[in-house]
Structure 1
Amino acid sequence: MSISDRMSPLELRASVGLASIYGLRMLGMFLILPVFAVYAEQLPGGEAHILVGLALGVYGLTQALLQLPFGMASDHYGRKRVIYFGLVLFAIGSFIAAVAHDIEMVIIGRSIQGAGAINAAVTALLADLTREEHRTKSMAMIGGTIGFTFALSLVLGPALYHLVSIPGIFALTGVLALLALAVVKYTVPDPKVSSFHSDAEAMPAKLLEVLRDTELARLNFGIFVVHVAQMSMFVVVPLALRETGGLDANHHWQVYLPILVVSFALMVPPLLYGEKKGKIKQVFIASIALMLLAEVALGVAKSHFWALVALLAIYFVSFNILEASLPSLVSRVAPARSKGTAMGIFNSFQSFGLFAGGALGGLLSHYFGASAVFLFGAGLIGIWLFFASSMKQLPAVRNLAFHVREMTTDEARRLEAKLALVLGVTEATVIAEEGVAYLKVDRTRFDEQAVLRLLPAV
C-alpha cells in the first residue's frame, strides 16, 4: 500500500468519463450566460428583465431541490439508472427551451434541465469505482472540468450564438445529453458493488449537524454569495457591453477571452502563496475584499466600456480564486465522517445562489437599473466579508483515505486512537461499516510510513 500508487486504468476511465458527464451539465447551464440577456429581448416577454433573470436562474432552483434526493435514490435504484433518468430529463428540458417562442416556455425548459440533477449520483458512482486513496484526485478532475467548462462557455457561447443562436445552443446541449447516455453505458464501468461512502455522499442523519456547524455555514454562505453575484451580473453585463462598446453579442468573446486569460494567470500566485506560506485565510479574505471593490466600482463605472472591461478582469481574478478555494476549504473543515454531507449541502447552496442571482438580478435590473444589481452584490459580499473575517485560521491539511479490513466498532476506535498519535495526523476517523480510515494530515510534518505500518497491523 502506498499513497503514491497511480490510479488504475479502470479508475482513470471512470474519472474521465464521469468528469465529462459532469462538465456537460455545467455546459448546459453556462453556454447561454454571456448572450442570453441580449437574445431574450427578441422573445415575447423578454423585455421584462424579471423573466430574463428567472430564465437564467431557475435551472439552479430545481437542481438545488433535487440533487440530494437523486443521490439518495441512486443508493436504492442504482447509480446508472438515476443518471440515465437525469440525462433524459436534461435533454427534454433542452429541446423544450430550443423550440420556445416566448420567455415563459424557456423558463419551463430551463427548470426541466435543472431537474435532471445527476451531480450527486455521478459523485456516488465515482466513489464506487475508485479506491479511497485516489478519490480526491478523481474529485479534483471533476472540479477542474467545471472550471474549464465555465471558461470555455464564456468564449464559445458568443461564437455559437453567431452560428446557431440560442435555440441552436439549447438543441446542441440536448443532443450532447443523449450522446452522454452512450458514454455512461459504454465508457463508464459498472461498479461491482455499490455502497455508501461518507466522503462522497450525503447522510440524512448528518444534515442538521452539518448545517449547525458555524465554520461550514460561513463557507456555504460564501458559495451562495459568489453565485448570486455571478448570475445577477450576467443579467446586465451582456447589455452593458453592447451599449458602452457597441459590441454585438457575437463578438463578446473578444472581451471574455483576454479577461479569462489574464484572470487565470493572476489567480495562481496568490493560491500558491497561501498554500506554501500557510496564509490560506489571508488570501481568502483578500479575495473577498477584492471582489467587493470590483462590484462597487462596477456599479459606479458600468457606463464606461474600458472601465467595465478592466473591472470585470479584476472581478474574475477574485472569482476564480474563491471558486477554486471554497470546495477545498469545505473538505478541510468538515469532519471526515460528514464530508460527503457537507459537500452535498455546499453544492445545494451553490445552486440556490445561481437561482437567487438570476431572479434577484432580473428584479433589480427591471425596477432600479444595472447599478442596483452590482451594488446589491456588493452588499452581500460585504456581509460575507464581515462573517468570513472571524473564521478560524485554516490549516494546510490534506485528506487521505485507506481501505481497512472488516472490524468491530471497538477495533475501529482503537485504530483511530493509534492513528491520531502519528506525527502530522490532525484527525483520524475509522468507519467500521465502510471499512475505511479517513485522515486529515499536516503535509509539512506527516509521517506517511508510520501510518502505513499501522494499517496492516489491525
Structure 2
Amino acid sequence: MSKKELYVILGVSAIYMLRMSGVFMILPVLTAHMFLLQGVNGCLLGIAIGIYGFMQVIFQIPCGLISDKIGYKSVIIGGLVLFAIGSEIVAITQHIWGLIIGRALQGSGAISGSLIAFLLDSVKSQHHMRAVAFIGINFGITFFISIIFGPIITDRYGLYGLFHGITILAILAIILTYFIIPTLSNNFSKNNETFFIIFNKIKKIVSNIQLIRLSFNIFFIHIILILNFIVMPKVLINLGFSANVHWKVYSIIMLISSIVVLSYILYLEKKHCVTHILFKCMIILLMAELLMCMSAHFVFNFLFGMQLFFIVFSLIESILPAILHKISSHTYRSTTISIYSVGQFLGLGCGGILGGFLLELGGIWLVLCCAVVISTICVFLNK
C-alpha cells in the first residue's frame, strides 16, 4: 500500500470518527434529557430521535449522484456544513420542534456513501478489504468512546453543551476534508453508459437475494438498537443508577464488548467461517432481548442482558460488511453499499418513531417486547 493510499485511508477514517462521534454521543442521553424541552411528549421524542435516520435515507442516493457529478469533496464538505448548522440549532433551541428541525438538518448531510466511494476510488482494488476493515475498526472505537463521553459531557455542560461540542467536531471534519483529503477527478462523467443501462444494472443489484437479506438484517438490528437506547436510560434510573453514573455502566459494558468481539473476529478470520456465524448471533441477540424484557426490575440480570446485546450487536455489525464486500461487484460496489446504508439508516429512523410511539402507548415493557419480536424475525430471516 502506497503512502498516498494510507494518507487517504487515515483522512477518511478521521472524518468518519469526527462525524459519527457526533451521532453516537447523543444516543445514551437524548431520551433522558429531552423532557427538559418545551412541548415534548413520547411521540415527538420518537420523531426527534428517528428523523435523523429518515433524512439520511432520503438524501443518501441523491448525495451520491451529486458527488458523481461535481466531485466527492464538495458533497462531503456540504454535508458536514449542514450537520454543523443542525447541531447549532439544537444547541440553542428551547422547544422540541427546534430539536426536530436541527436533527433533520443533521441527517440531510448524507455523506456516508460519498465517503466510502471516495475511499474505494482512491485505493487500489487489492487494498479495498483492508481499507474498509480499517474504517470498521475506527467505527467501533468511535462508538465506544462516544458512548462513554456523551453522558460525561452532557452531565457537565448539559444537552446544549453537547451539541455545541458536536458542532466543533463537524468543523474539524470540514477542515480535514478541505486541507487533507485530495480532490479526485469526476469518474462518472467519463462513463458512456446510458441512463437505461445504469438503471437496469442497479435493478439487478437491488434484486440480489443476498443483498436483500443483508439489508433487512441491518435494518432490523438498528431498529432494535434504537429501541434499546430509548428504554435503557429509563430502566437504569429505575434500577437506582442516577443519570450522572450511566457513562460508567456504558464504559464497562463497551470495554468488555470490544475485547470479546475483537478476539472473536480474529478467530473467525483465521477459520474463514464469518458467513456461518450470523444465524448463531441472531439467536444470542434474541436471548439478550428476552433477558432484558423479563429482567427490567432485576439489576444483575438486566445488566447481563445489556452486555450480551452489545457484544452480539457489535459482532453482527462487523460480520455484515464482510459478507457484503464478497457479494458486491467491483463496478457498482458504491451502489451496493448505498443500498445497504439505506437499510441501516431506515432502521434508525423507524426505531426512533416506533420506540417513541410504543413508549407513549405502553411504557418500557412494550418497547422491550417489540425488540424481542423483531429479534425473532431476525432469527427466522437467517435460518
Q: Same fold, TM exceeding 0.5?
A: yes
C-alpha distance in 2, partners of 1:41/1:349? 29
C-alpha distance in 1, partners of 2:322/2:288? 24
* 8 A contact 1:52–1:235 mirrored in 2: no
For the pair 1:109 / 2:102, whether they are aligned, the reply is: yes
For the pair 1:153 / 2:146, whether they are aligned, the reply is: yes
* 8 A contact 1:96–1:105 mirrored in 2: yes
Can you list the C-alpha shifts for 1:265-319, whole angstroms capped at 9, x where unaligned? 2224443444434443442111110001111121111122222111100111110
Q: Letter of the aligned partner of 2:156 in structure 1?
A: L
Q: Letter of the aligned partner of 1:194 in structure 2?
A: N
Shift of 1:127: 2.9
For the pair 1:176 / 2:169, whether they are aligned, the reply is: yes
Can you list the C-alpha shifts for 1:70-109, whole angstroms capped at 9, x where unaligned? 1110111122111121111111101011111111110110
**What is the count of residue pairs matched by the alignment?**
376
C-alpha distance in 2, partners of 1:305/1:33? 21
Shift of 1:129: 2.4
Distance change >3 Å, CA 168–CA 204, structure 1 → 2: farther
Shift of 1:56: 1.5
For the pair 1:324 / 2:318, whether they are aligned, the reply is: yes
* 8 A contact 2:91–2:163 mirrored in 1: yes
C-alpha distance in 2, partners of 1:311/1:327? 25
C-alpha distance in 1, partners of 2:362/2:320? 31
SS at match of 1:252: helix
Identify which range, 247-256 or 277-286, moves more after superposition. 277-286
- In structure 2, the residue matched to 1:165 is 158
C-alpha distance in 2, partners of 1:119/1:266? 27
- In structure 2, the residue matched to 1:195 is 187
For the pair 1:231 / 2:219, whether they are aligned, the reply is: no
Shift of 1:182: 1.5
Distance change >3 Å, CA 371–CA 136, structure 1 → 2: same
Q: Letter of the aligned partner of 2:165 in structure 1?
A: L
- In structure 2, the residue matched to 1:83 is 76
* 8 A contact 1:128–1:195 mirrored in 2: no
Shift of 1:229: 0.3
For the pair 1:121 / 2:89, whether they are aligned, the reply is: no
SS at match of 1:14: helix
Q: Letter of the aligned partner of 1:64 in structure 2?
A: V
Provide structure 2 residue ranges, at least 5 long, that are not aligned to the other structure: 192-197
* 8 A contact 2:53–2:348 mirrored in 1: yes
C-alpha distance in 2, partners of 1:214/1:378? 25
Shift of 1:205: 4.1
Can you list the C-alpha shifts for 1:386-413, whole angstroms capped at 9, x where unaligned? 1211xxxxxxxxxxxxxxxxxxxxxxxx
Q: Letter of the aligned partner of 2:218 in structure 1?
A: I
Mapping 1:284-303, distance limit 5 Å: 284-303=278-297
- In structure 1, the residue matched to 2:179 is 186
For the pair 1:16 / 2:30, whether they are aligned, the reply is: no
C-alpha distance in 1, partners of 2:312/2:339? 23
For the pair 1:207 / 2:199, whether they are aligned, the reply is: no
Identify which range, 269-278 or 15-24, moves more after superposition. 269-278
Mapping 1:24-43, distance limit 5 Å: 24-43=18-37
Report % sequence identity.
33
- In structure 2, the residue matched to 1:315 is 309
For the pair 1:69 / 2:62, whether they are aligned, the reply is: yes
Can you list the C-alpha shifts for 1:146-198, whole angstroms capped at 9, x where unaligned? 2111111111111111221111111111122122222111111233x332599
C-alpha distance in 1, partners of 2:228/2:206? 28
C-alpha distance in 2, partners of 1:208/1:370? 41
Mapping 1:238-249, distance limit 5 Å: 238-245=233-240, 247-249=241-243
Q: Letter of the aligned partner of 2:187 in structure 1?
A: S
Shift of 1:340: 2.4
* 8 A contact 1:10–1:189 mirrored in 2: no
Cα root mean square deviation, aligned: 1.9
C-alpha distance in 1, partners of 2:202/2:105? 26
Shift of 1:335: 3.9
Q: Letter of the aligned partner of 2:270 in structure 1?
A: K
Larger strand percent: 1
For the pair 1:375 / 2:375, whether they are aligned, the reply is: no
C-alpha distance in 1, partners of 2:160/2:200? 43
Q: Letter of the aligned partner of 1:362 in structure 2?
A: G
- In structure 2, the residue matched to 1:4 is none
Distance change >3 Å, CA 20–CA 268, structure 1 → 2: closer
Shift of 1:204: 4.8
C-alpha distance in 1, partners of 2:179/2:65? 24
SS at match of 2:187: coil
Shift of 1:125: 2.2
- In structure 2, the residue matched to 1:55 is 48
SS at match of 2:353: helix
Q: Letter of the aligned partner of 1:21 in structure 2?
A: I
Pick 1 or 2: higher relative contact order, CA cutoff 8 A, min separation 6: 2
For the pair 1:339 / 2:346, whether they are aligned, the reply is: no
C-alpha distance in 2, partners of 1:269/1:186? 36
Shift of 1:252: 0.6
- In structure 2, the residue matched to 1:401 is none
Distance change >3 Å, CA 186–CA 239, structure 1 → 2: same
Shift of 1:143: 1.8
C-alpha distance in 2, partners of 1:388/1:11? 36
Give the TM-score, by structure 1 length: 0.78
- In structure 2, the residue matched to 1:447 is none
Q: Letter of the aligned partner of 2:221 in structure 1?
A: V
- In structure 2, the residue matched to 1:455 is none
C-alpha distance in 2, partners of 1:77/1:273? 43
Distance change >3 Å, CA 343–CA 375, structure 1 → 2: same
2:343 to 343, 349, 369: 349
Identify which range, 248-257 or 309-318, moves more after superposition. 248-257
